[in-house]
Amino acid sequence: MGTASSVSSVAAGWWLSVVAISAGASLGALLRWQLSVWLNPLAPGLPPGTLVSNVVGGYLVGVAVAFFAHQPQWSAEWRLFAITGFLGGLTTFSTFSAEIMALLQQGRLWMACAAIAAHLGGSLLATLAGLLTYEALRSPS
DSSP code string of 39-58:
HGGG-TTS-HHHHHHHHHHH
Q: How far is CA 107 from the centre of its chain?
A: 30
pLDDT digit string (tens) for 9-37? 778 899 999 999 999 999 999 999 999 99
Report pTM.
Answer: 0.78
Distance CA 42, CA 133 (A): 29
Averaged pLDDT, 81-104: 90
Please say if the pLDDT value at position 140 is more than 90: no
The DSSP code for 83 is I
Q: Are 84 and 21 in contact (CB under 8 A)?
A: yes
Q: What percent of the chain has pLDDT over 70?
A: 95
Half-sphere exposure of 52 (CA within 13 A, CB side): 16
Distance CA 27, CA 83 (A): 12
Distances (CA, A) of 22 to 11, 25, 27, 96: 16, 5, 9, 22
